């Protein structure tokens, strides 16, 4: 007896549906879902994108608007004909691409929240390289959500959502299927915008220029069955304030990732945009670090690097002598304190000391390409002839110069440019592998590496690495990670698809709620990710290290319904309250979270640590409770403004803006013998009586100044026997501690005054400055005086 396979392939399903279909050639087809109305002509061209509530058609005129574009033999083809079939399960659109003979069947699902379009078949398979949904041109230009694929005009939102991992946001940027751009699901144009997505036929061997074009002509093995069939999108429109809710509804309806924390969708969770602490700790001092994190009012304690190797995620024995059991105990302690516990890793990067590499390298390590041995070699041979220099002569981003032959890794210095193509100065048995003889014709594969001195897995092995990471999280209870180095998935040659698969593999296998961030922003990952926290602290002080980049990111977050985050900042043993509050004011202005890197030694050595942690707690409490109004936030955003926040009771604070004088300048001037060399200023004091505060900076390209002597109102002197070079500065904050900063804004040293600076009353003051200059082109000495302005009472609003 013949039995039907109820789990038939999409192609078979389409054929069975067509058997019961009534097919005709309409003048046009109208597809409706909620307020969305899409009209498609008999040639497969979109002729209207209407919002029935507003009555407007948002399709941009005079621009191509195909429902679906075919890519075949690297050329793009628009559909030439469309037919409509009515089946028992709904409507099917059949698109013909006459020059190629390709026929694609698209199922239409008209739902209250969105219009879903699914590819059921694409024949003949061998002719289809890729498909592009759209691009769909719109007249909307005000807000372009390039990551999430939503455009808005202040009243209405129009969006395209990818409904599975094989469907990528964008307009097929290259054969790799990847871009370094933050997002390309929506694109701005002078006349409006476009929405688009694409899918690649991966069920064939391909060659791509991987890692953004760096690794040329990389061979990529097929993924059996992974064709464009099954590619699926959702189109929707709604009132702009309803957009986030609508995105959540689509996630649930289409079984997309919809991560929750304590039962609440993360994008509507109280933890959305919250700040956390990054540190280095172990079993011995985790309790201390939990205490610091709690005092600062941060939601998670995140280890900046606990692993001895990535790939198998082996913990370092120095900090975690009890391995994963020790990490589990740390996580349980954090959870008992009401915190999350996080660990940092680099996605699928594989250290050279990991079991995937040594002593026996895994055959699934990613290769940029291969050649073969011309002749047999013994275990000692230092020059190895290969049939082709391709892949071995690509010097850009070639960091480890490693070739894999059988179970041996070999490092080489270079390959000759002419025949015989020879790998020179070979280091046999590299990375603890065993040097052995190899036969003629054996494959010699160039390993894909990175400047961090790591290798990468191929696509199949990447999925195992994701299982390893999920297993680590399940075994330890760790519930906070970053997919940092997420771009490492590009080493598979599968482009942005591989990034989506890695993150989804981890999410689907972790057995508890967890929070995660990423180094990249991709359309499908938007459904998985909790935050995007870009900005590193290693290049200067709080004000100097990538600050404009951090601020520029806030617009991206606004456009794409992402939580505002300002990146990482570094608390050192010399961080001041003024430094900390400068950053906290920016966070409050942008309603942005951050990560505070604070290592145990810095926290122990900085005498201000309790004050700094209390400041973080109060500013974060005020920020997340909506205490700052829009006018205050506008002032808080301005990096030239400084503030102080005082807690006055539960949910109540005083905000004080730091007032500043004009900048006063002293330069070297030649004087007559015996004539005083000091500079005199009339300084207005426009704030309440308080101790003198000032910043003294050296402006210029070269030279020095030293032995600063400042006199206030001709009766009290502040002596600073200090030498500064051009670009450096010192800050007196009203205490006896004067802090010195280098030209990059990094803390350099401290100097203790003999007594507190004088109290300066409101009004005008005579201040003189004397100093010695050095160098052929001595710098200018610039001084700005500061003080706290009037109190502004603020209160929690939620």
Evaluate if residue 7 carries a pLDDT over 50.
no
CA 704 – CA 778 distance, rounded (Å): 6
Q: What percent of the chain has pLDDT over 70?
A: 97
pLDDT tens digits, 486-520: 999 999 999 999 999 999 999 999 999 999 999 99
- CB-neighbour burial class of residue 651 (10 A; exposed 0-12, middle 13-18, buried 19+): middle
**In whole angstroms, what is the distance from residue 28 CA to residue 260 CA?**
42
Q: Once rounded to an integer, what is the mean pLDDT over residues 699-707? A: 95
Place of tokens 């390289």: 129
pLDDT at 2 over 80: no
pLDDT at 212: 92
Mean predicted confidence (pLDDT) in 309-332 = 98
Residue 336 has pLDDT above 60, yes or no: yes
Q: Which residues of 279-316 are buried (b: 16+ CB within 10 A; e: fewer)?
A: bbbbbeebeebbebbbebbbbbbbbeebbbbbbbbbbe
- Helix, strand, coil: what percent of the chain each, to 5? 20, 40, 40
Q: What is the pLDDT of residues 444-500, one digit of tens each?
A: 999 999 999 999 999 999 999 999 999 999 999 999 999 999 999 999 999 999 999
Instruction: Kindly provide the residue ranges of all beta strands, DSSP E only, lying in 428-556, ordered along the sequence.
Output: 443-447, 449-450, 454-455, 480-483, 515-518
Enter the DSSP assignment of 476.
Answer: H
- pLDDT tens digits for range 152-195: 999 999 999 999 999 999 999 999 999 999 999 999 999 999 99
CB atoms within 10 A of CB 127: 15
Residue 11, pLDDT > 50, answer: no
pLDDT of residue 705 exceeding 90? yes
Handedness of CA 542, 545, 548, 551 (dihedral sign): negative
pLDDT band at 14 (very low <50, low <70, confident <90, very high): very low
What is the average per-residue pLDDT within 679-702? 94
pLDDT tens column, 385-434: 999 999 999 988 899 999 999 999 999 999 999 999 999 999 999 999 99
Task: State how far the Cα of 751 lies from the Cα of 93, in Å rounded to an integer.
Answer: 77
DSSP annotation of 236:
E
The per-residue pLDDT for 33 is 96
pTM: 0.90
Q: What is the pLDDT of residue 524?
A: 98
Task: Using alpha carbons only, give the angle 517, 523, 526 rounded to the nearest 5 degrees.
Answer: 35
When pLDDT is averaged across residues 270-287 and rounded to a whole number, the result is: 97
Task: Give 214's DSSP letter.
Answer: T
According to DSSP, the β-strands at 192-200 and 168-169 are antiparallel
What integer pLDDT is reported at residue 683 of this predicted model?
A: 95
Q: For the chain, how long is the longest CA-to-CA vector?
A: 118
Average pLDDT of the chain, as a whole number = 94
Instruction: Identify the pLDDT of residue 238.
Output: 98
- Residue listed under structure tokens 């503030």: 643
In this predicted structure, what is the pLDDT of residue 88?
81
User: Residue 595: pLDDT above 90?
Assistant: yes
With 50 as the cut, is the pLDDT of residue 6 above it? no
Mean pLDDT on 669-690: 82
75-133 per-position pLDDT tens digit: 999 999 999 998 887 899 999 999 999 999 999 999 999 999 999 999 999 999 999 99
d(C-alpha 100, C-alpha 561), whole Å: 40
* Alpha carbon distance 117, 102 (integer Å): 18
Cβ neighbourhood burial of 464 (10 Å; 0-12, 13-18, 19+): middle
Read off the pLDDT band of 668 (50, 70, 90).
confident
Q: In the prediction, which pLDDT does 671 show?
A: 60
Q: Which residues contact 727 (CB under 8 A, 6 or more apart)?
A: 698, 699, 700, 742, 743
């Amino acid at each position: 007896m013949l039995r039907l396979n109820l789990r038939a392939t999409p192609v078979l399903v389409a054929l069975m549906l067509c058997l019961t279909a009534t097919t005709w050639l309409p003048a046009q087809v109208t597809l409706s879902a909620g307020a969305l109305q899409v009209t498609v002509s008999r040639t497969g061209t979109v002729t209207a994108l209407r919002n029935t509530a507003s009555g407007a058609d948002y399709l941009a005129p005079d621009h191509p608007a195909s429902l679906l574009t075919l890519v075949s033999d690297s050329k793009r083809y628009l559909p030439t004909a469309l037919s409509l079939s009515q089946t028992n399960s709904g409507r099917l659109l059949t698109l013909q691409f006459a020059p190629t003979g390709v026929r694609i069947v698209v199922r239409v699902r008209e739902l209250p929240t969105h219009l879903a379009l699914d590819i059921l078949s694409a024949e003949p398979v061998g002719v289809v390289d890729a498909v592009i949904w759209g691009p769909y041109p719109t007249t909307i230009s005000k807000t372009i959500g390039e990551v999430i694929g939503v455009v808005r005009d202040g009243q209405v939102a129009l969006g395209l959502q990818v409904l599975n991992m094989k469907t990528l946001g964008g307009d097929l940027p290259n054969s790799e299927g990847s871009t370094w751009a933050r997002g390309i699901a929506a694109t701005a144009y002078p006349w409006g915008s476009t929405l688009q997505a694409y899918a690649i036929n991966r069920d064939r061997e391909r060659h791509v220029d991987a890692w953004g074009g760096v690794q040329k002509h990389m061979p990529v093995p097929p993924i059996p069955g992974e064709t464009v069939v099954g590619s699926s999108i959702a189109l929707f429109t709604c009132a702009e304030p309803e957009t986030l809710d609508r995105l959540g509804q689509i996630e649930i309806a289409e079984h997309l990732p919809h991560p929750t924390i304590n039962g609440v969708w993360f994008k509507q969770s109280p933890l959305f945009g919250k700040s956390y602490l990054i540190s280095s700790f172990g079993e011995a001092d985790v309790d201390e670090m939990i205490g610091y994190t709690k005092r600062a009012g941060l939601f998670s304690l995140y280890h900046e690097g606990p692993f001895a190797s990535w790939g198998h995620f082996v913990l370092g024995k120095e900090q975690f002598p009890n391995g994963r059991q020790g990490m589990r105990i740390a996580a349980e302690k954090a959870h008992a304190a009401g915190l999350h516990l996080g660990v940092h890793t680099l996605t699928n990067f594989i250290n050279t000391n990991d079991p995937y590499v040594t002593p026996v390298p895994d055959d699934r390590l990613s290769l940029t390409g291969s050649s073969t041995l011309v002749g047999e070699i013994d275990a000692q041979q230092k020059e190895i002839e290969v049939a082709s220099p391709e892949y071995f002569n690509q010097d850009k981003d070639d960091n480890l110069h490693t070739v894999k032959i059988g179970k041996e890794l070999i490092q080489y210095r270079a390959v000759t440019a002419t025949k015989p193509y020879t790998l020179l100065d070979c280091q046999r048995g590299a990375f603890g592998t065993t040097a052995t003889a190899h036969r003629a014709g054996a494959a010699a594969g160039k390993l894909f590496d990175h400047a961090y001195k790591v290798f990468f897995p191929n696509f199949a092995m990447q999925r195992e690495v994701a299982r390893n990471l999920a297993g680590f999280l399940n075994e330890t209870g760790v519930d906070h990670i970053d997919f940092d180095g997420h771009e490492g998935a590009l080493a598979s040659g599968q482009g942005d698809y591989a990034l989506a698969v890695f993150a989804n593999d981890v999410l689907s296998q972790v057995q508890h709620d967890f929070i995660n961030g990423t180094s990249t922003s991709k359309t499908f990952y938007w459904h998985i990710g909790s935050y995007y926290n870009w900005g590193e602290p290693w290049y200067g002080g709080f004000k100097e290290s990538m600050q404009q980049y951090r601020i520029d990111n806030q617009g991206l977050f606004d456009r794409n319904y992402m939580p505002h985050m300002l990146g990482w900042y570094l608390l050192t043993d010399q961080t001041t309250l003024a430094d900390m509050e400068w950053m906290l004011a920016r966070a409050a202005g942008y309603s942005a979270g951050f990560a505070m890197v604070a290592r145990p030694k810095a926290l122990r050595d900085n005498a201000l640590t309790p004050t700094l942690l209390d400041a973080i707690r109060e500013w974060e409490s005020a920020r997340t409770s909506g205490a700052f109004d829009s006018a205050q936030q506008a002032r808080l955003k301005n990096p030239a403004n400084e503030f102080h926040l005082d807690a006055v009771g539960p949910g109540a604070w005083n905000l004080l803006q730091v007032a500043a004088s004009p900048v006063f300048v002293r330069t070297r001037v030649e004087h007559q013998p015996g004539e005083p060399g000091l500079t005199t200023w009339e300084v207005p004091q426009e704030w309440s009586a308080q101790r003198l505060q000032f910043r003294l900076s050296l402006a210029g390209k070269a030279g020095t100044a030293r032995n600063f002597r400042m006199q206030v109102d001709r009766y009290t002197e502040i002596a600073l026997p200090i030498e500064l070079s051009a670009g450096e500065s010192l800050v007196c904050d009203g205490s006896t501690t004067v802090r010195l900063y280098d030209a990059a804004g990094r803390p350099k040293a401290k100097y203790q005054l003999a007594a507190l600076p004088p109290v300066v009353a409101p009004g005008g003051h005579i201040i003189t400055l004397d100093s010695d200059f050095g160098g052929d082109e001595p710098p200018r000495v610039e001084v700005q005086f500061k003080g706290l302005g009037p109190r502004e009472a603020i209160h929690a609003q939620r």
